[in-house]
Amino acid sequence: MTSASTSAGTVEKNVRPVVSLEHARKSFGDVEVLHDISLSVAPGEVVAIIGPSGGGKSTLLRCLTLLERLDGGDLSYEDVTVARGGAYGDKNVLAAARARFGLVFQNYNLFPHFSVLRNVMDAPVCVQKRNSAEAEAEARALLAKMGLAGSEDKVPCQLSGGQQQRASIARALAMHPDIVYFDEPTSALDPELTAEVLRVIKQLAAENMTLVIVTHEMGFAREVADRVIFMDGGVIVEEGPAEQVINHPREARTQAFLAQRD
């Protein structure tokens, strides 16, 4: 557990959270998908979000990454106030917030006609206006770190699913984010390829990166996460240290969910 966080998942007063969400609400039509969600993530903390399908996990991640807008509540990234009472800042505020996080999608979302190298270096050059040669050198180093040296000139369809997901992780890291979100990063992969991707995420956690991972891999969550959040019905039912929530859940809904995973 990172020293910046407590077992209940709150952040110490002298440490500014990387991201903070307070009393968040989100509805689609008449269906409220998120009900009064509050959470914060400390620097260097690894948080795993678990729960049944339809429980609100992916919607929460989409709201945190500005792919969906909250209907109510506050969202901030360190000193950047993104939304207050559901009212969002202007485009400059949103751009500043987007610079703080990376997102690894369930289905990779690589540009199919770009080379792997260009997929990784495109946003640093085009969005962050970084020097092309420096961005290329860093992209090559990141791909090597992901075990993809020699694949720089391939296009995504020439890679396995696990390789594509590792390329998408390199793409997220190339933006130098303060926090990286993973939305079920192994759900589209077979067990062998799943192990490849989980090894990479474990390495990032060991390097003290701030990570939030929506996952159905309970063993991985227990091993890697500092804190586990169990969501069901659009609310946080239970949260705490990974070993406690997964091995000794207190809430009946958590117990029932985990019993189905055995």
pLDDT in tens, the chain (262 residues): 443 443 344 455 567 899 999 999 999 999 999 999 999 999 999 999 999 999 999 999 999 999 999 999 999 999 999 999 999 999 999 999 999 999 998 888 899 999 999 999 999 999 999 999 999 999 999 999 999 999 999 999 999 999 999 999 999 999 999 999 999 988 878 888 888 999 999 999 999 999 999 999 999 999 999 999 999 999 999 999 999 999 999 999 999 999 987 6
- From edge to edge, which strands make up the β-sheet containing 101-104? 101-104, 179-183, 211-214, 46-50, 227-232, 235-241
| Measured CA distances, 197 to 47, 96, 145, 192, 248 (Å) | 17, 29, 12, 9, 27
Which helix H or strand E contains 82, and what residues bound it? strand 80-84
Give the percent of the chain with pLDDT over 90: 85
What is the rounded distance in angstroms from the CA atom of residue 185 to the CA atom of residue 105? 6
| Helix pair 161-173, 132-145: axis angle to 10 deg | 140
| Measured CA distances, 209 to 99, 112, 176, 200, 226 (Å) | 16, 28, 11, 12, 12
pLDDT at site 182: 95
pLDDT (tens digit per residue) in 192-221: 888 899 999 999 999 999 999 999 999 999
Nearest to 155 by CA among 107, 108, 109, 113: 113
Sign of the dihedral defined by the CA atoms of residues 139, 145, 148, 150, in that order: positive
**How many other C-beta atoms can be found within 10 angstroms of the C-beta atom of residue 93?**
15
Cβ-based neighbours of 137, under 8 Å, separated by 6 or more: none
pLDDT at site 14: 65
What is the token pair recorded at 164?
Answer: 């594509």
pLDDT at site 3: 39
pLDDT at site 245: 96
User: What is the separation of C-alpha 223 from the centre of its chain, rounded to a whole number of angstroms?
Assistant: 17
| pTM, to two decimals | 0.91
pLDDT at site 2: 42
The full length of the chain comes to 262
Within 13 Å and on the Cβ side, how many CA atoms surround 118? 9
